[in-house]
Chain A
Amino acid sequence: MSLHRRTVLVLPLAVAATGAAAQSAVQSAASENFAAAERAILAGRTPIAGGIEIDMPPLSENGNSVDLSIRVDSPMTEDDHVAAIHILSERNPFPRVARFALSPRAGRAEVATRIRLATTQTILVLAETSKGQVHRAGREVIVVLGACVDGG
């Protein structure tokens, strides 16, 4: 009985802690640079080049809204699926642009969104699989008129 009560007491704390960690992962990105963000996601793993198709216009007139779609080669089964896709920006004020969490219920590892780009730069995509591998691909994009950040 006392064990049960203890479990109940500890549970909200554990949930609060993981919630705070998830929040700070995105918010602490402000102080972290591009290379550090990539290292943090890789966590010591060596990325595999390729396996990712990035579709983004090579030249963008306006950095306020740039179409970006990502497709990762994966069978998306319980054993072998893409669990997370990260979009990193080399020269935005915040290197971590977005993170997508997927499961086998997605059917395909395909996402698309619209991002802000401060200036001409490389966009890096990292895809983490359920087997612990990380796929990595980058694309250069020329931005004529950047999203107005830091005068950039």
Chain B
Amino acid sequence: MSGSIIARITLPESAKKGEVVPVRVIVRHPMERAVDAPGLRPVPRRILHTLRVTYAGAEVFRMEMSPGIAANPYVEFTTVAVETGPMVFEWEEDGGAVYRREAQLVVA
């Protein structure tokens, strides 16, 4: 289910309960958008179309992406620190592959 993908997830080292924390995520991916132009061999579209983030029992963020998102997609969002625990990141790719990564948020 979860293949290999290189992702860098940046969270603060620790947060206070109730604090709004920034989350930065960058993942290595070509976001192949099936460019079809003269002189080019057509390549099938292969993008990450969804990023789903769950933390402390609920989905806290979701991003639906198109070929209009740059290669190596980057996203920054915020979440309220609730409890110490894993933040789970799941990317869905065209063709059905799902990549999963976790990052620990420490709440003091």
Contacts and interface: CB of A to CB of B under 8 A. Distances in A.
A101 B61 contact: yes
A150 B37 contact: yes
B77 A110 contact: yes
Interface stretch (B3-11, B62-70, B100-108): B62-70
Contacts of A100: 61-64, 77
Contact of A105 (B64, B76, B80): B80
B58 A98 contact: no
A114 B69 contact: yes
B58 A69 contact: no
Among B21, B59, B63, B73, chain A packs the most CB atoms within 10 A around the CB of B63
A114 B61 contact: no
A129 interface: no
Given A113-B74, A148-B35, A105 B67 contact: no
A29 B79 contact: no
A69 B37 contact: no
Contacts of A65: 70-71
A64 to B, nearest CB: 6
A113 B77 CA distance: 9
A98 B65 contact: yes
A120 interface: no
A148 B78 CA distance: 32
Is the interface on chain A under 10, 10 to 19, 20 to 34, or 35 or more residues? Answer: 35 or more
Given A101-B61, A105-B80, A106-B61, A114 B70 contact: yes
Contacts of B67: 93-94, 116
B76 A116 contact: no
A116 B20 contact: no
B75 interface: yes
Nearest to A96: B66
Interface of B: 20-21, 33, 35, 37, 49, 55, 58-71, 73-80, 82
29 contacts: A22-B64, A26-B49, A64-B71, A97-B66, A98-B63, A98-B68, A99-B64, A100-B61, A100-B63, A101-B64, A102-B77, A103-B58, A106-B77, A107-B20, A107-B79, A108-B78, A110-B77, A110-B78, A111-B76, A112-B75, A113-B70, A114-B70, A115-B70, A116-B33, A116-B69, A148-B35, A148-B37, A149-B33, A150-B37
